[in-house]
Structure 1
Amino acid sequence: MPDTAMPDNKAYIDWTDEDYNGFGRSVQRLTHSYHTLPIFQQPALITLLDSYPRQHLQAFTMGHDPCRREEWKTVDIPTYATGQDIWQAVEKGRYWLNITGISRFSADFANLLTTMYEHLGERCHHLPAMRSDFGNLLISSPGSQLYYHLDAAPNMLWNLRGTERFWIYPAMDLRFAPKPILKRLWQAKLMKNCPIIRV
């Protein structure tokens, strides 16, 4: 069983006071070393995939054109597929795997998220009582993409392996997310995917 006990989170998040003060207030690119934990190594991830409830394991594939969202397709994971099978498919194919609600099904990840948020809450005084309501783990193929979208709720993305390329748009700039789209999003009448808007 991987050991995620973290007596001193500073070993994993070692930011300056300025970094902590700006957290959640501005766009930041900060370092961490959570990727060194045993639970993020390939054998542990394969074991996690092997036993994870299939109804909480989402898989998608996609095309290469970022403007053709219709090429985003759901992929069924066969019940007989092992964790190794799933890992190899992601490694060799073009897939985006969303392991949802991970703290509900893994005590190791629940402990990790709890201690992570406690650490941030103690140092980010403008964000008291931080907690993770719904933590997901994403595993994606090299070269895969996620289409232009908007998340209604605040969230964080911690990159653990490989390189990610992001496009970040100005907050509340209605050129990129007009009011009708925002209204539908918050009324839950629209998934977080937004129509492609050219400006």
Structure 2
Amino acid sequence: MRADAKRNRDHLLAVAGTAIAEHGVDVSLRDIARRAGVVLATLLRHFPTREALLDALLRTSFDELTAKATELETSSSPEDALVCWLRDCVACATEYRGATSLMAAAIEDTESALHASCSAMRAAGARLLTRAQDAGVARTDIDGTDLFALVATLAWLGDQPSLAPRADRLFDVVASAILMSAGSDDPEGGRPRARS
């Protein structure tokens, strides 16, 4: 891709990200083009459908979360790595209103352009969870799929105006339910850990 085409694409993605954060995933493509200072045909040349635009926008964020998980594996304690990644994942999903349903659909739809990125992100979270479980700081009766579902649930809370003020507190409640305090017994009586 030529440098000017990449700049134009990156500008469109930045404008789309702001518009989606403000108005949700159903924001008008015409409105995004207008905000970017281009005609709709220019936007459609880069992103022929709404799904293509959303895929490009979300895939970048999901790939960043996957990379962050790898970094956290070597730079933080198992407990801190899991909680930090979980918080960042929820924040990403909450940043783009309505993205939670896209994430849930993409993980099940192997034809979705987002499927690979969502699957990689889920696997990255599962690795952090397994690391915390192996260190004895996370409950062993959940797996990566459960963790992904909890991310979607917490992000959904952030999308609800009446519940958003409770989202941070409920994140802490969920995180403390996943983690085990030092010396506590396995909540499932030592059952083998489920893997994703």
Specify which structure has the higher proportion of helix: 2
**Length-normalised TM-score, structure 2:** 0.32
Taking structure 1 as the reference length, the TM-score comes to 0.31
